[in-house]
Structure 1
Amino acid sequence: MMGRSPNRLSILSFTCFSLLFRSILTVGFDHLVDQLEDQETVALRTTPDNLQMRQGSPFKIALFADLHFGENAWTNWGPRQDVNSIKVMSTVLDEETPDFVIYLGDVITANNIPIANASLYWDQAISPTRARGIPWASIFGNHDDAPFVWPMEWFSAAGIPQLCCPAVNLSYSGKEGCSFKGTQRVELIKNEIKLNLLSYSKNGPKDLWPSISNYFLQVSSSDDPKSPVVFLYFLDSGGGSYPEVISSAQAEWFRQKSQEINPDLRVPEVIFWHIPTKAYKKVAPWFGIHKPCVGSINKESVAAQEAEMGIMELLVKRPSVKAVFVGHNHGLDWCCPYRKLWLCYARHTGYGGYGSWPRGARILEITQQPFSLRSWIRMEDGLVHSEVVLS
């Protein structure tokens, strides 16, 4: 769900698309490119399933939702939003010092990116986390592999600006400089994993294709890496190159995997995807946010998946499932109880995308003995609000 540029005529001021990339110098992108090129020479590890808590400390996760990098990429407005998004993430990371980051979908606005490999923008989006040495995982939203949509102003008298696309010898450029064909999920996740030793993202089972980011991670005890404290499940809620649904096949994958790794329901489970299910509509507060819901903005209706195909029925039957976290709706940041679990929104983090509400990020804090899941929202100005206990 993207926004509109307030500066539609700025296209006339651009003689070459490569000026976009120069604007990223303000956040040290040249250094980032050097890092990417250096990493190709490093022996790449197989992405593990295990994260381990630090001795005597809770495990803290920052959720970055709806960054929308690359939006209106041919204007001077778009790159400025990307720089602003990096500032928001940097503030949150420096204030909270999380142990882990989750990119909760719509990392990029692929339908605005006229180059062959949108991983260039994906790399920009994860750069603040990588620069601080913090591991992360990502899932896909509906804009991450959406096909390029031709801007109407390109058909004006001024015509299409000269496009100086990335050199083909760069690791993220692809075989073609400009193709307008977009970058599919499988390529985006492949490039992230290939070039980043700190990435815990996964392709997921091949038989669930075109759904890609379906996997789980275990957060283990500080005393024993084999002793799970919580399981984190990631599901691809569609959009872009396939319908906005969590399919029955994905629901069955979750059923089998959760039964395999947590058969006695002893270990708490937390779930992440991008587009809310229809269950979010059932609990959505009216006219503000009232108890038992907790949050600060309730400015639009829930934009749910196209259909419910079984995932919520499975979740509500598992008392081990404590909460579900989504993005997608930029004007919502509430958490509301649903049956015996919580349905939560993150907070719109990126300056790309629609809406003028202040940006921020939802924080999760997991403690081990006794287990608890606590959450709050850290804003771009450093303030904290909407603290809630979810377990």
Structure 2
Amino acid sequence: MYILHTAHLPLHSYFDVESMFSPQELLNPYPHKPRVTYKNGRFKLSVFSDLHYGEAEDLSWGPEQDRNSDTVMRAILKIDPPDYVVINGDLITGENTFRENSTLYMDRLLTPLINANIPFSSTYGNHDNRPNISHLAEMEREVKLAPLSYSRRAPPGVGGIGGEANYWVPVYADKSARSPCLVLWFFDSRGGYTSGPNSTALPDWVDESVAPWIQQESAAMDSAWGSATETGRQALVFAHIPPSTMRKLQQSLNSSKEPGLNADQLGSGSTQGSNNPTSVGKELAWWYAVRDYIKNIHATVHGHAHGNEWCARDPSTSIILCFNKHTGYGGYSSPDWGHGVRTFDFKLGEESAHTYIRMQNGSTHAEVVLDKQYGI
């Protein structure tokens, strides 16, 4: 029996409908949305990260930051229009907003994407889980507002409390392709606090329940579309808080081979499971499932550390891990860091990915090709 994903029913409703649909059609989480496709053999994806709307909304400098964030989003979309956008966490500084207007900031930050008619999806960060806001509330507002939002809720029992945003998005070579050539995976690293009056701290790692779900989904993809190893189906992985292995990578970073701003020293609270000694290694179930079941990963992509932009290969898994670029004017920063996005440019049939940092003023830097030789 194949799995029919639907956008209008709870995720992973199961039906025996093999006589009605081909296996490829059955494994489709977005039957009522346009296919995400390459354009003339190219697929450009830009990552907006750490926008932090709503910070200090009752002071003059908070709204000014939001206006500047509006400007950088519009500028990037005009200078270097992508085919797809990922918003990789900390959309809103939830601790500074009021319950009655928290999700309304979603209306503002999504407006440039809606006006540009660009498909997109989100992960959510530790500042998106607060007493007056939650990942789920932001997602529900996003999906309601934006027809081209591909964010969706994980099935019941996957992700833990405050970690509802675990899902994947298929990307096809063209509208008629029977199976995708690229899969975008999104994982919820949680963090922050539960919503409501009796708020408590949330774990800051991808929940262990996500690991068997990855195995299940990967098996379903192989069954419907053929083995990723044999077909060459590629992957790109997103989670807001970086895994703890990035702390080790930073210690041996070679700026000539692994370029990009490296101004944010990773320490306590900067990677998954690092808030206290009892949570160390808690993300490993997820991380090992990514390693073991998601094949042909171009990179895993993370935010949270606003002053970092580099990509480095983890020698223990051979996976390349990348930081985004701090996009928003909210959140901590430094005048010399600037604001922009990380962009990925894929060419159909190539196993490598070209990636670079695009700044608000249109300049680019830290351009590298992520291939089998990168970081070796």
TM category, shorter: 0.7 to 0.9
AA of the residue aligned to 1:127 = T
What is the Cα deviation at residue 57 of structure 1?
Answer: 3.8
Question: 1:245-300 CA distances to partner (integer Å, 9 max, x unpaired)?
Answer: 111101221121122213622311110010011111121145x7524423133332
TM-score (norm 2): 0.78
Equivalent pair of 1:70/1:79 in contact (CA under 8 Å): yes
AA of the residue aligned to 1:384 = T
Alignment-derived partner of residue 347 in structure 1: 325
What is the Cα deviation at residue 48 of structure 1?
Answer: 4.1
1:315 aligns with 2:315: no
Provide the secondary structure at the position in 2 that maps to 1:228: coil
Larger Rg: 1
Q: Which one is further off, 262-271 or 332-341?
A: 262-271
TM-score (norm 1): 0.75
Equivalent pair of 1:88/1:360 in contact (CA under 8 Å): yes
Alignment-derived partner of residue 214 in structure 1: 166
Provide the secondary structure at the position in 2 that maps to 1:111: helix
Inter-partner Cα distance in structure 1 for 2:240 and 2:34? 21
Equivalent pair of 1:92/1:379 in contact (CA under 8 Å): yes
Provide the secondary structure at the position in 2 that maps to 1:350: coil
1:101 to 79, 85, 95: 85
Provide the secondary structure at the position in 2 that maps to 1:310: helix
Equivalent pair of 2:234/2:296 in contact (CA under 8 Å): yes
Alignment-derived partner of residue 69 in structure 2: 85
Equivalent pair of 1:49/1:217 in contact (CA under 8 Å): no
The 5 A counterparts of 1:45-194 are 48=33, 50-54=35-39, 56-147=40-131, 182-194=132-144
Q: Which one is further off, 218-227 or 185-194?
A: 218-227
The 5 A counterparts of 1:250-329 are 250-262=210-222, 264-266=227-229, 267-285=233-251, 289-302=254-267, 303-306=270-273, 307-317=282-292, 318-329=294-305
Provide the secondary structure at the position in 1 that maps to 2:353: strand
2:339 to 344, 350, 359: 359
RMSD, matched Cα:
1.9
Equivalent pair of 1:347/1:360 in contact (CA under 8 Å): yes
AA of the residue aligned to 2:272 = Q
Inter-partner Cα distance in structure 1 for 2:241 and 2:123? 11
Provide the secondary structure at the position in 1 that maps to 2:137: helix
The unaligned stretches of length 5 or more in structure 1 are 1-44, 148-181
AA of the residue aligned to 2:329 = Y
Question: 1:83-134 CA distances to partner (integer Å, 9 max, x unpaired)?
Answer: 1011111111111110011000000001000232411111211111111111
What is the Cα deviation at residue 47 of structure 1?
Answer: 6.0
Inter-partner Cα distance in structure 1 for 2:235 and 2:256? 24
What is the Cα deviation at residue 379 of structure 1?
Answer: 0.6
Equivalent pair of 1:289/1:295 in contact (CA under 8 Å): no
Alignment-derived partner of residue 153 in structure 2: 203
Q: Which one is further off, 220-229 or 342-351?
A: 220-229
Question: 1:300-339 CA distances to partner (integer Å, 9 max, x unpaired)?
Answer: 2251111323122223335422210000000111100113
Query: Are the structure 2 counterparts of residues 351 and 260 from structure 1 closer, same or farther at C-alpha, using a change threshold of 3 Å?
Result: same
Count of residue pairs brought into register by the alignment: 311
Equivalent pair of 1:52/1:225 in contact (CA under 8 Å): no
The 5 A counterparts of 1:33-52 are 48=33, 50-52=35-37
Alignment-derived partner of residue 355 in structure 2: 375
Identity of aligned residues (%): 32
Question: 1:10-62 CA distances to partner (integer Å, 9 max, x unpaired)?
Answer: xxxxxxxxxxxxxxxxxxxxxxxxxxxxxxxxxxx9764841112x2411111
Provide the secondary structure at the position in 2 that maps to 1:67: coil
What is the Cα deviation at residue 224 of structure 1?
Answer: 2.9
Alignment-derived partner of residue 182 in structure 2: 230
Alignment-derived partner of residue 164 in structure 1: none
